Structure 1
């Protein structure tokens, strides 16, 4: 089953030409070299059609007159024409190599930049393997199309047209014999194009699925090995590979069919023209040189005609790759401009007011319209300099609520303000410069420890800022690594323990001295002693910031000044830890480690 979202695959009746025309903005900067290359290729290809005319002159002239000097002169002309044709084709390749690699690089850079600007909801829907295949395999297909099929569809079309004119000019009756297969070849090409387009799209989606399986298998290798699931994973991979192989074989059968028709019918036409021409030569109606030139021209057109199937196949694959590329590029990115809505209008000038949630409701964008909201009527005020712990059962919406503050998701109704300013009235860059986050699942990148931590700081952050953040997070272990903070942590930070990764994620959140801090259970992977040390250092940081902390353990709750209980998407109680512990049964059960809260427990 494809992991491409169904909405992305639902398209209007496709047109390969319409799809490929969308590449024009990328091709336009290099159009001069591409058009020049096409012109050079046309000249080179048509130069090959001059060779039969030289043969005609040689057969009817020097050969018939037994003139050795004329034969040598003709041979010299044939050699010069062949060398010139080869040099022109080599020049064409040189012309397109550099600009097309530039086009591919620009498209890949635009795709990556666009992916960074797409909302989190988009990435929740799309499998990463599908995105990866679009950035690699699809763009490679487009570069190959621009380098070869695009040019030679034009070149071969012009060559066939010029060749047919030359043949008709030499003998129109033989020309009509050669043109006999035109109609059935065109009909076959139309049928082939539609069927091959469907198979090409299916194959490219399946490549994305296969890429997803490989990526998940590599990232989850510890789970696979830990549970001994390598055989089942390998079996699933083989099944997907077999499915892809079947689709590729279907493509091969379609290509073989069209190629058989395109090769066989012209060969039959050439054979018929040879018989008719030989009869005309025997009757004296046609010179031997004309017949040789005619047949040489027909043979010179064999490759342009036979390549039609191959070029159409590559064009369909390129059109499919273009559609897949723009399926992503057409997704609406997050706007970095403030929203100009009545709900977003705020008084001029910020005033210390902390974080406010005012009647906030949230439903995921792809949720059914009649489904209940994840968050419903959230009213909450975190005063300036205050730390508020957010507590609730699994699935109550805690992580979703914290994601609304940095606008990873947009509120459905209501508003959130920072110091009295609606967060939608700020650009995302401005908002995220004030709000730092540390997620429950600490994500690290294939970079050095220092680079990972300093992602949360301004560009002018100093080594002292890095050392301070590491000290707060009790991440001094980095100084014992082989290259200290310059040590590469590896993909996803798997070379570190879970607690070490979590401490680096916490250091990344505090390194920029943010005004507002959002922490999603930041200490869950720490041992008791490390947790106590981190809490002591973190208290000093929390004294200078306004913080929202998702907490599951009493030790984390005690970091906060107050506690809010989230239940069923609503805030049901707010108070200190001790107040809620004494006066709220659900909170008491959560803090005591009970697996399930019941309002009316049975004795």
Structure 2
């Protein structure tokens, strides 16, 4: 109940309609308890007196009661269908919106399949719980209470016989609930693991086929499937166990009451009509009692689904449209540039402002051991306005991590980053990402058109569709992507498919580069943007890219001399620190580590 009560904020807007539906269901269920009383009147009255007219009247009354019960249950279903579909949609939208606001560190450690299962199967379980178990736990509980009162009023001695199994059934339900709750949680987690494997196999189908790993993948999937099957069979055994007791004990009580009642009728202590009504009432309570195990099982699954849902919702989100909470900052070791004038932001010319400044920046990933050294330490670097700085370093030196700090995908654990003299920690993520554009090393595309993928990187500009199309054409030309985009079946309106896998690696990388430059960002972060291009295309892209870099402040992760030559200066990242800064030729002449990296003798520049 503690878990399920957390759903109240989502239920509150539709509580009135659900309350009416519950009242209608209770009324329909109570009508079924009136039918035995009519039977008693029929047996002791018209049947005993051999009155056909009375028998027809009683039959018509029973028919009306049956129709009323059916109509009320139909009304209940109509009342709950629309609001519960709305509740499920609201919860799904809330979860998706929260996932968008969670920090990148959260997505680094959570498998996508686990998140997918929480947004699909878990929410479907909750909708089913609202529609059926939640309602009928209330309805059946009221029915059992009303029925017990009717039984005791009709014949208290027989009523006590029927109520004898109540205590042992309560104990059995308590044991069942604890065992089934653990099994339900295990099954839902296994569904998430299974979803992760399916998703990864589909996205990595080229790797699986290319390396002939389909058998090993199928074997891993089969093992997960068998584990889930074993868990589901365990749940079925628990259900069979509780259902057997929930059926057997009341049946034994009904049998005992029938024998005792028949003896009392034979002795003249009880009328036949009373015995018929008593047994009819007891039989009417069979479904409410038998269903308790089933309803408890569904309630436990709903409770575990709720826990899984709020495991994600309870993760602290980052504020996209406001500055983060105040954090302790290590003062920069050198005096920073003077504060820029107010209003510096996206779209301003690169000749104004103070550029990009790292002052004593340190970073450790949130899930790193507390005693581990930070990945980045005392990063102090000044990229002047309009300047292009190449960032070079060995594999694992932290180049990509450093570039991820600028658009606030992560926040530094110490030190300060300034954009045009403004502390990045005081700039909202929305504003920071309007000022900074990024082209990542892995070009990720979405299931959308080529134009939509590129324009995702640009803020809306005045001028309407024509101006937007002009920006698209300019960005495609810079990335040397206009040729192959125009050759697509529908041009820029062609769907590129999931992850853009219908395109080559170089084509995906050029679209990602176009996405980075389409918004004319004030600061441009490029993480090895030309690695998948052939020599001829690379030369063409570099020539066009020089024009873009001349109007912006850029930090470019470089692994090849051709990319380094795009930059005005080069920073060497080594041991988590900036080891040297200078031009390419200066570092090549004076820094052996840099010379080794550029010649390929330093273990690779990645």
Give yes or no for TM over 0.5.
yes
Which of 253, 262, 270 does residue 286 from structure 1 map onto? 270
Residues in 1 aligned to 2:556 and 2:328: alpha-carbon distance in whole angstroms:
30
Q: Give the Å deviation of 1:156.
A: 0.1
Asked if the contact 2:392–2:572 (Cα under 8 Å) also holds between the matched residues in 1, the reply is yes
Structure 2 residue 203 is matched with structure 1 residue 219: yes
Q: Normalization by structure 1: what TM-score?
A: 0.95
Instruction: For 1:361-380, list aligned pairs within 5 A.
Output: 361-380=362-381
Instruction: For 1:140-159, list aligned pairs within 5 A.
Output: 140-159=124-143
Residues in 2 aligned to 1:196 and 1:134: alpha-carbon distance in whole angstroms:
19
Asked if the contact 2:558–2:564 (Cα under 8 Å) also holds between the matched residues in 1, the reply is yes
Q: Give the Å deviation of 1:377.
A: 0.7
Q: CA 1:411 to 1:267, structure 2 compared with 1: closer, same or farther past 3 Å?
A: same
Residues in 1 aligned to 2:11 and 2:54: alpha-carbon distance in whole angstroms:
48
Asked if the contact 2:375–2:576 (Cα under 8 Å) also holds between the matched residues in 1, the reply is yes
Residues in 2 aligned to 1:448 and 1:483: alpha-carbon distance in whole angstroms:
9
Residues 61-80 of structure 1: per-residue CA shift (max 9 Å, x gap): 00000001111111101111
Count the aligned residue pairs.
582
Superposed CA RMSD: 1.3
Residues in 2 aligned to 1:459 and 1:75: alpha-carbon distance in whole angstroms:
73
Which of 511, 524, 537 does residue 531 from structure 2 map onto? 524
Residues 143-193 of structure 1: per-residue CA shift (max 9 Å, x gap): 000000000000000000000000000000000000010011000000000
Q: Give the Å deviation of 1:254.
A: 0.5
Q: CA 1:374 to 1:343, structure 2 compared with 1: closer, same or farther past 3 Å?
A: closer
Which of 240, 247, 250 does residue 263 from structure 1 map onto? 247
Instruction: For 1:131-530, list aligned pairs within 5 A.
Output: 131-336=115-320, 337-339=322-324, 340=326, 343=329, 347=339, 349=342, 352-460=353-461, 462-476=468-482, 477-530=484-537
Query: Match of 1:8?
Result: none
Asked if the contact 2:391–2:572 (Cα under 8 Å) also holds between the matched residues in 1, the reply is yes
Q: CA 1:204 to 1:308, structure 2 compared with 1: closer, same or farther past 3 Å?
A: same
Q: Give the Å deviation of 1:343.
A: 4.7
Residues in 1 aligned to 2:460 and 2:419: alpha-carbon distance in whole angstroms:
24
Query: Match of 1:84?
Result: 68
Residues in 1 aligned to 2:401 and 2:602: alpha-carbon distance in whole angstroms:
21
| Secondary structure, aligned partner of 2:357 | strand
Residues in 2 aligned to 1:344 and 1:325: alpha-carbon distance in whole angstroms:
37
Question: Structure 2: which 5+ runs fail to align?
Answer: 332-337, 345-351, 462-466
Which of 531, 553, 577 does residue 570 from structure 1 map onto? 577
Asked if the contact 1:344–1:425 (Cα under 8 Å) also holds between the matched residues in 2, the reply is no
Residues in 2 aligned to 1:237 and 1:554: alpha-carbon distance in whole angstroms:
44
Query: Match of 1:581?
Result: 588
Asked if the contact 2:587–2:594 (Cα under 8 Å) also holds between the matched residues in 1, the reply is yes
Residues in 2 aligned to 1:195 and 1:343: alpha-carbon distance in whole angstroms:
49
Q: CA 1:344 to 1:99, structure 2 compared with 1: closer, same or farther past 3 Å?
A: farther
| Secondary structure, aligned partner of 1:524 | coil
Asked if the contact 1:378–1:570 (Cα under 8 Å) also holds between the matched residues in 2, the reply is yes
Q: Give the Å deviation of 1:397.
A: 0.3
Structure 2 residue 29 is matched with structure 1 residue 45: yes
Asked if the contact 1:344–1:423 (Cα under 8 Å) also holds between the matched residues in 2, the reply is no
Query: Match of 1:601?
Result: none
Residues in 1 aligned to 2:506 and 2:208: alpha-carbon distance in whole angstroms:
21
Asked if the contact 1:435–1:514 (Cα under 8 Å) also holds between the matched residues in 2, the reply is yes
Q: Normalization by structure 2: what TM-score?
A: 0.95
Q: Give the Å deviation of 1:459.
A: 2.5
Q: Give the Å deviation of 1:557.
A: 0.4
Q: Give the Å deviation of 1:393.
A: 0.6
Residues in 2 aligned to 1:296 and 1:277: alpha-carbon distance in whole angstroms:
13
Residues in 1 aligned to 2:432 and 2:242: alpha-carbon distance in whole angstroms:
58
Residues in 2 aligned to 1:275 and 1:445: alpha-carbon distance in whole angstroms:
72
